[in-house]
């Protein structure tokens, strides 16, 4: 079963913080680096956070790689404890909306 993760936006909402405020506080606490990716001691600790990578097309630079920090349930608990924040109840895994199946047009 894949691990459930939350983007920085989702984590901020669960921690009752703004996205930028949470990112700043996490950088000050040494959890994130200047690029909002995990700092050295958190890098590779997939129990707390993972880095989702991908590419996108930039009109001037061409194909560009990016990394986005995502937090696990244990990572949210760790961040809340480290920053002294109250964590909202996490949604149950079964409450996630089911993926709809594609419908094909009939001719």
Please give the average pLDDT of every successive group of 10 residues along the chain, which has 107 residues.
87 94 96 94 92 94 94 94 87 58 48
Q: Is residue 96 part of a domain?
A: no
Q: Is residue 100 part of a domain?
A: no
Query: What's the pLDDT score for residue 104?
Result: 47
Q: Is residue 99 part of a domain?
A: no
For residue 63, what is the enclosing H or E element?
A: strand 62-72
Query: What's the pLDDT score for residue 78?
Result: 94
54: three-class secondary structure by DSSP: strand
Provide the domain limits for residue 73.
5-86
Token pair belonging to 59: 């009109």
Q: How many domains does the chain have?
A: 1
What is d(CA 104, CA 44) in angstroms, rounded to the nearest whole number?
42
Token pair belonging to 107: 């001719």
């Amino acid at each position: 079963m894949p691990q459930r993760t939350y983007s920085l936006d989702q984590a901020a909402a669960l921690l009752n913080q703004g996205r930028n405020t949470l990112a700043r506080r996490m950088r000050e606490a040494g959890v994130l680096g200047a690029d909002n990716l995990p700092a050295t001691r958190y890098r590779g600790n997939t129990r707390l956070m993972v880095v989702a990578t991908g590419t996108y097309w930039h009109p001037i630079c061409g194909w560009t790689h990016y990394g986005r920090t995502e937090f696990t349930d244990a990572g949210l608990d760790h961040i809340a404890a480290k920053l002294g924040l109250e964590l909202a109840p996490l949604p149950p895994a079964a409450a996630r909306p089911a993926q709809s199946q594609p419908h094909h047009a009939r001719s």
